[in-house]
Amino acid sequence: MACVSRRQQAQSEVMEQKNTHSNNVTLEELRDKLAEFAQVRGWEEFHSPRNLLLALVGEVGELSEIFQWKGEVAKGLPDWSSSDKEHLGEELSDVLLYLVRLADVCGLDLGQAALRKLVKNAYKYPITELPC
């Protein structure tokens, strides 16, 4: 009985997410939702760093398939149908979600790591000429 209501609660949370339109979703929010997603399904033991890395690489492959053999694609994808764009959004999301989850199970703060890397990039590639 407790198990059933836990399932119902998890399911209704999923439905709520469907109706949430947020423009300022944070990495922490995604991290916490993914942790919950795995926990309520009893998937934590499968979400090891190596498994998540392989899943991430698989999703990068699925993302690549969308662009495969298409030739160069204009920015903004003006010629793509809405269902093609939706598919692209799903594959990009799978990559992002596995990346966020991988960082989490590795004990890394991905947002902080990315900000530090941006600073490092700026030192490595200094601005020599300002664009007009």
Ligand X SMILES: Nc1ccn([C@H]2C[C@H](O)[C@@H](COP(=O)(O)OP(=O)(O)OP(=O)(O)O)O2)c(=O)n1
Which of these ranges, 16-24, 69-77, 91-99, 113-121, lies near ligand X under the rule CB under 6 A? 91-99
Q: Does 97 bind ligand X (CB under 6 A)?
A: yes
For residues 99 and 95, what is the distance between their CA atoms, to the nearest angstrom?
Answer: 6
Residue ranges in 48-67 that form contacts with ligand X under rule CB under 6 A = 62
Through-space distance between the first and last CA atoms of the chain, rounded to whole angstroms:
67
Sign of the dihedral defined by the CA atoms of residues 50, 53, 57, 62, in that order:
positive
Q: Which is nearer to ligand X, 93 or 116 (CB)?
A: 93
Please select the residue that binds ligand X; options are 6, 7, 17, 43, rule is CB under 6 A.
Answer: 43
Which of these ranges, 5-13, 14-22, 92-100, 111-119, lies near ligand X under the rule CB under 6 A? 92-100
Residue 101 · residue 31 · CB < 8 Å? yes
Q: Does 46 bind ligand X (CB under 6 A)?
A: yes
Number of continuous H segments (helices) and E segments (strands) in the chain: 5, 0
User: Which residues form the interface with ligand X (CB under 6 A)?
Assistant: 37, 43, 46, 62, 94, 97-98
